[in-house]
Amino acid sequence: MSYSFKNITCDLEDNIMLITLNRPKVLNSLSSEVFSELKTVFEKMRDDQEVKVVVVTGAGDKAFAAGSDVSEMSQYSLVEAREFALQVNKAQQAIAHFPKPTIAAINGFAFGGGLEVAMCCDIRIASEKAKMGQPEINLGIIPGGGGTQRLSRLIGLGRAKELVYTGLPISAQRAYEIGLVNQVVPHEHLIGEALKLAKKIAEKSSVTLKFAKSAMDTGIDMDLENALKTEIELFAECFGTEDGKEGLSAFTEKRKPNFADK
């Protein structure tokens, strides 16, 4: 499948798609065109069997994405702002509901819309030089791409309110301490570490990974009793797959499983 875009680059190797936000001159700011491309690429990758794990990062050494394109946003009317937020939501939902594992490799500034995109990914790995925050309050607006919602679900309501109310950035280490990122690594090793983790995940059965992601993403918004029922159903589904049978057989036969992604 062909992947060619104006504002993002796509590199597929060993079943891992590396998507790079590629507007370094403007710190990879997220225009409406960028969001449109993100929506398109994630929709295309859903059915691409060659893609098992996706890593998202930013071009250059300064920014993952320094936020939405303020020069574009500053001209919006109320109606246009709502339309933009709805477009952003569609792109972010395409990422958040993508059935395969996703990793954000945060190589620098991840502010506003940039952090919101990173929060749509399953796992976040940050460079030690990275800084994160929701600075919209400083512009007289609030986050409109999930910053008031996904952030509180990840780090708790009190901490999220502090970040949104103050608009202050936090360091990668602080982000790790409050659970916003999974790892902090040396800047020069960021992409290598992200790809290393992606390769470990890509070795697993894509069918089983899909079940695992569905169980967690669906269950998190349910009460525990219904979430456990969902888990039971997806657990049982594994036994009807070729990879479920292969994995269990390999264990009893003391060999490495050979998953067929079926």
Q: Which residue has the tokens 């059935």?
A: 99
User: Rounded to the nearest 10 degrees, how much is the dihedral formed by the CA atoms of 154, 43, 203, 2?
Assistant: -140
Q: Which two tokens stand for residue 45?
A: 């990758």
**Using an 8 Å Cβ cutoff, are 93 and 44 in contact?**
no
Q: How far apart are CA 21 and CA 9, in angstroms?
A: 7
Q: How far apart are CA 201 and CA 204, in angstroms?
A: 6
Q: Is 128 a catalytic residue?
A: no
Give the number of other Cβ atoms within 10 Å of residue 176's Cβ: 18
Angle value at C-alpha 180, between 179 and 185, nearest 5 degrees: 90
- Residue 20 main-chain phi, psi, to 5 deg: -115, 120
Entry field: residues in the chain: 262
Q: Is 116 a catalytic residue?
A: yes
Q: Which two tokens stand for residue 121?
A: 């990914």
Integer CA distances (angstroms), 212 to 30, 102, 119, 122, 217, in order: 30, 13, 19, 12, 9
Angle value at C-alpha 190, between 42 and 209, nearest 5 degrees: 45
From the candidates 83, 116, 233, 253, which is the catalytic residue?
A: 116
From the candidates 33, 43, 136, 233, which is the catalytic residue?
A: 136
**Using an 8 Å Cβ cutoff, are 30 and 114 in contact?**
yes
- Known catalytic residues are 116, 136
